[in-house]
Structures are given as C-alpha cells and as structure tokens.
Structure 1
Amino acid sequence: MFKQRVLTALVLAPVMIVGIFFLPLKPFAFFIAAIATLGAWEWANIAGYQRTWSRVVYALVVFVCLYISARFLRVFPEWLIVYLALGTLWWAIAFALVQSYPSGTRLWQSRPIRALLGLCVLVPMWVGFMHLKEQPHSSLLIFYVMLIVWGADTGAYFSGKRWGNTKLAPEVSPGKSWAGFWGGFATTLLIALLFGLYIDNWVEPLTLENSWKLLAITVVTMVISVLGDLVESMMKRYRGIKDSSSLLPGHGGVLDRIDSMAAAVPVFAFCMVVLDWGLSP
C-alpha cells in the first residue's frame, strides 16, 4: 500500500503542479473541469448510481454545467458572487447535515438529492478556482489555499494522534477529534502569519486592515476545509464504501484527494470578494 501511494504521488505531483501553476487561463479551466468531471463520476457512485452508464451520464451533466457556467459568467461576470455565495451557503447547510447524521439522512437519502448535492460541491469549486486564477499573483493565492488545507490536515494528524480522545464527529468520521481540529487551527494560524510576513516583505505592504481580512479569510477557509472532508466521509459512510473509487492506487479516488479543497476554494474566493481583499498587480 505504501509503495502504491508513493508511486501514485510521484506521477500525480508533476501533473498537478504543471496543471495548477503553469497552464494559461483557458487550458487551466479545462484542467480543473477534467478533475471535477472525474470527481463527478465518483460522486455518482456515492449518490447511489452504480451502473457505468449512469455514472458517465452524471459526469457529462456536471461537465455541461461547468461549460454553461463558463459561458454565462463570461457574458455576465457580475453573477460570480451569486455562484460563490450559493456554494458557501451549501457548506453552511452541510454543517447542519453533518451535525444531524444519521437521524437527518431522510433529508438527502434519495439518489436525485444526493446527485444535486454533487453539483453544489463541484460547480462552485470550479468557479472558485477560475476566480483565483484570474487574480493578480494567482499561483500564490492558489498555493496559499493549498497551504491552509495541508496545514489543517497536518496539524490535525499530529495533535489528534497525541491528544485525540474527544471525537469531533464520531458518527461521521471516528478518526477526527477536537484536539485534531484545534491542532489544525493553530497550524493554520502559523501559516497565515508566515504568509502575511511574506506578502508584506516580498509582494506589497500589508496594512493592518488587510492583515485582519487575511486572517478572517484564512480561519473561515480552514474550518470549511474540515467540513469538506466530513461531508464526503458522511456520504461514503451512508453509502457503505471506504473510498470514492480506486482511480488513484493507494489514495482512493479523486474526491478523496480534493474533498477539502472543493470546500475551501469557493469559500476562500467568496470571502475575497465580500471583504474586497486581494493582491495588487
């Protein structure tokens, strides 16, 4: 298993680095759309559509929704905030669903509802990535969101392993603990501090107001990234499966790798727009 994880990571890492950080805008849009479409193929199984043809149809539906969104936002860019707001609203609803599991499953147990929830995850993720890609210093911003997610995961792993007695959501993900959450929170605050110092010294002077905005955006994004992982765990637990697929040997499926990012990216982008925060060209 460990050998498979390493080999898969060695193949995926350069693909992801080139795709996210070096592709121009249009190829980048197709690259993220391809990831979302693969995620949709897996989500169809999570939603209860097990036949190959139904999973392919669902993946095509998601891709078409992404294409329509791209064309629509190109003509009406002012609707970006609506997409991001709806995506953020979904994660607020998801918090309530995780809290109410398993008693609240009656609200989303039907396959069409679960399929619709997949759109709520994947479409805002793509829109959020595109918004970040269009910003000055886009690679730096995308990398920072990744750091938030990785920091939350890494801090949670080590602190949870050491002090994780009280479970965060035992019915959904028994491995997650409150100690892990606070460890991830502390790690993310450290990352925000270091990132702020980097911005202030190497990119542009960081005012006190913008420092507080950056901190607020970071904290909200970190919390939502944890929720992204919990939501996929909840869906898989209800479905009775361990991984979203076996597309990535040793790692599970695409959704297993991007669940936290799918939540973090649109919320990070939404907070940027609402708080009017960004980096100058």
Structure 2
Amino acid sequence: MLKQRIYTALALVVPFVGILFLGSWQHFAWLAGLVLILSAWEWAGLSGLKGNISRALFTLFIAATGLLLAWFFQWAEQYQDLRTLFIAATIWWAIALLWVQGYPSSAIIWGSTPVRLLMGCFVLVPAWLALMFLRAEPAGAWLVLMVVFTVAAADIGAYFTGRAFGSRKLAKEVSPGKTWEGVVGGMLFALAIGALVNVFFIHGSWLSLVVVILPTAFVSVLGDLVESMVKRHQGVKDSGKLLPGHGGFMDRVDGLVAAAPIFALAVMSTQWSVRVVG
C-alpha cells in the first residue's frame, strides 16, 4: 500500500511541477481544469447523485461556470470583480466552519442533494479561478507553489502538533483527531515553511507573508473538515477511487480548494509581489 501511494504521489507531483514551471499559463489552466472536472465528478457522487448522466451534467455545469467566469473577469481587466468573488468564497468558508462545528445537527441545512451540489460550486469554482489568477501574476508559478506548500505544511504541522499537545477538539463529530492546538501548530509550521521559501527562493514583504500564510493555513484545515463532513453524511470513506492508495482527487485537493481563494484574496489585499531570487 505504501509503495502504491508513493508511485501515485510521484505520478501527480512530477507533471504538476513540470507544467507549473515549464509550461505556459494556458498549459497550467488545462491541468487545473482537468483536476476541477475530476473533482466535480466526485463531488456529484458525494452529493448523492447516483447516475452517470446526472453526475456528468453537474460536472459540465461546474466546468462551464468556471470558463464563463474566467472569460468575464479576464483577470486584470476585472480585478475588483474577481476580488468580490474571493470575498464571497471567504464568507462561504466562514459559514462552512459553523456547519462543521454544528454537525450533525447542521445537516438539516446542507444535507439535501441540491444544497450539497450548491456547496460544490462554492468549493470548486473559486478555487480554479484563484489558481488561474495566481499563475497569471508575475512569478505566478512561485505563488501557486507557495499555496501548495502552505496547505501541505499546515496538514503536517497540525497532525504532529495535535498528536503531541492536542486536547480541545475542533470538530469532534466530523474528525475526532483534529484539535485547536493542532490547527495552531499547523499554522505556525506553515508560516515557518513560508519563511524558508521566502528566504531562499523568493523575496517578498515579511508582513504580507504573515497576512497571506496564516489565514490560508487555517482555511486549508477547514477544507479537509468540510469534505470529511460531507463524506461522513454520505457514508463513504473516500471521495472516489481514481488515485490508487489515495482515494479520489477531492481527498487530495480538499485543503487546496479551500485555501486558494483565501490566498489569492490576501495577495490582492496586501498587493504582495514576489520575485525569484537570482
């Protein structure tokens, strides 16, 4: 099982990094779009859709919505409107935090298939647009890599800090192992990793780094919790079986889809610019 997980991880990481740094913005858009489509297919199943046709229709709707919004915003030309979308995504994740902490009672609000499908729109579409915005920025590949590192570091830091010091449960009915102490540890570890990247690879404002990294790390943990909550409600362990040893795509990107819009909004708000050292 471990060998299978390693092979699958390498099969994902190598093309991702290659296209991110060696490919064009358009190449990255296609790669991220593919992940969006596969994640939408899985989310349709988590929402209770059984038939392939209904799941395909939802997947097409998500893809079409993302493309239409991308055409409308055109990144720089509609900068303020894009900021509004990311603010809306931030509000959505704040509501999701209340639902996670209120589970299972909160399921009376979001447990129906139509509402879960609507949740999928808020989870997936802003994330894709945020990644496109970040990649289009100067040194955009590094910004995308930074958000990925932040999510991974928050996950690792939260796990080990929670095991060592965790006592106050974050969402006991959703994920008994996650604690507030773990979240704080994850945020601090993500900040430490961000600082190292800032020192050795990029050069950006330290104050902006803190403002960008800390909320991003927190929301990445929330993304994992929201998917866990929906899976628990649906009675499944994984979002899918597309990735041997890892489950589905949503199981791998749940933190990233939550973090990307918040990271992008923070970059916009602080006007954080980075340049590659050397």
- For normalisation by structure 2, the TM-score amounts to 0.92
Alignment deviations for residues 157-201 of structure 1 (CA, whole Å, 9 cap, x no partner):
222233334432111111212332232122123123323433xxx
Take 1:157 and 1:106, find their aligned partners in 2: how far apart are those partners? 30
| 2:79 equivalent to 1:84 | no
| Range with greater deviation from structure 2 (188-197 or 256-265) | 188-197
Q: 1:45 to 1:203 in 2, by over 3 A?
A: closer
SS of the equivalent of 2:170 reads strand
- Checking the alignment, whether the CA contact within 8 Å between 2:45 and 2:55 is kept in structure 1 is yes
> Per-residue deviation at 1:229?
0.5
> Per-residue deviation at 1:62?
0.7
- Checking the alignment, whether the CA contact within 8 Å between 2:101 and 2:170 is kept in structure 1 is no
| 2:98 equivalent to 1:103 | no
Q: 1:33 to 1:141 in 2, by over 3 A?
A: same
- What are the within-5 Å matches in structure 2 for residues 63-82 of structure 1? 63-74=63-74, 77-78=78-79, 79-82=81-84
Gaps of 5+ in 2: none
- What are the within-5 Å matches in structure 2 for residues 114-153 of structure 1? 114-153=116-155
Take 1:69 and 1:144, find their aligned partners in 2: how far apart are those partners? 24
Alignment deviations for residues 191-235 of structure 1 (CA, whole Å, 9 cap, x no partner):
23323433xxx655x5xxx32122011111111111111110111
> Per-residue deviation at 1:87?
1.5
Take 2:55 and 2:202, find their aligned partners in 1: how far apart are those partners? 45
Aligned to 2:32: 32
- Checking the alignment, whether the CA contact within 8 Å between 2:131 and 2:260 is kept in structure 1 is yes
Alignment deviations for residues 241-277 of structure 1 (CA, whole Å, 9 cap, x no partner):
1100010010010000000000111110011112222
Q: 1:196 to 1:12 in 2, by over 3 A?
A: closer
Take 2:181 and 2:83, find their aligned partners in 1: how far apart are those partners? 34
> Per-residue deviation at 1:103?
0.8
> Per-residue deviation at 1:280?
5.5
- What are the within-5 Å matches in structure 2 for residues 130-279 of structure 1? 130-198=132-200, 203-204=202-203, 206=204, 210-279=205-274
Alignment deviations for residues 34-69 of structure 1 (CA, whole Å, 9 cap, x no partner):
110100000001111021111111111111111111
- For these two proteins, the number of residue pairs brought into alignment is 274
Take 2:74 and 2:183, find their aligned partners in 1: how far apart are those partners? 39
> Per-residue deviation at 1:83?
1.8
- Checking the alignment, whether the CA contact within 8 Å between 1:125 and 1:265 is kept in structure 2 is yes
Take 2:136 and 2:219, find their aligned partners in 1: how far apart are those partners? 23
Take 1:280 and 1:186, find their aligned partners in 2: how far apart are those partners? 24
Take 1:178 and 1:100, find their aligned partners in 2: how far apart are those partners? 16
| Range with greater deviation from structure 2 (102-111 or 244-253) | 102-111
Take 2:19 and 2:60, find their aligned partners in 1: how far apart are those partners? 21
Say what the alpha-carbon RMSD is for the aligned residues: 1.8
SS of the equivalent of 2:176 reads strand
Take 2:161 and 2:74, find their aligned partners in 1: how far apart are those partners? 44
Gaps of 5+ in 1: none
Take 1:153 and 1:278, find their aligned partners in 2: how far apart are those partners? 25
SS of the equivalent of 1:169 reads coil
| Range with greater deviation from structure 2 (124-133 or 15-24) | 15-24
Take 1:224 and 1:102, find their aligned partners in 2: how far apart are those partners? 20
> Per-residue deviation at 1:102?
1.0
Take 1:239 and 1:214, find their aligned partners in 2: how far apart are those partners? 38
Take 1:221 and 1:188, find their aligned partners in 2: how far apart are those partners? 9
Match of 1:217, as an amino acid? Answer: V
- For normalisation by structure 1, the TM-score amounts to 0.91
Aligned to 1:46: 46
| Range with greater deviation from structure 2 (161-170 or 82-91) | 161-170
Q: Percent identity?
A: 40
- Checking the alignment, whether the CA contact within 8 Å between 2:188 and 2:214 is kept in structure 1 is no
- Checking the alignment, whether the CA contact within 8 Å between 1:245 and 1:252 is kept in structure 2 is yes
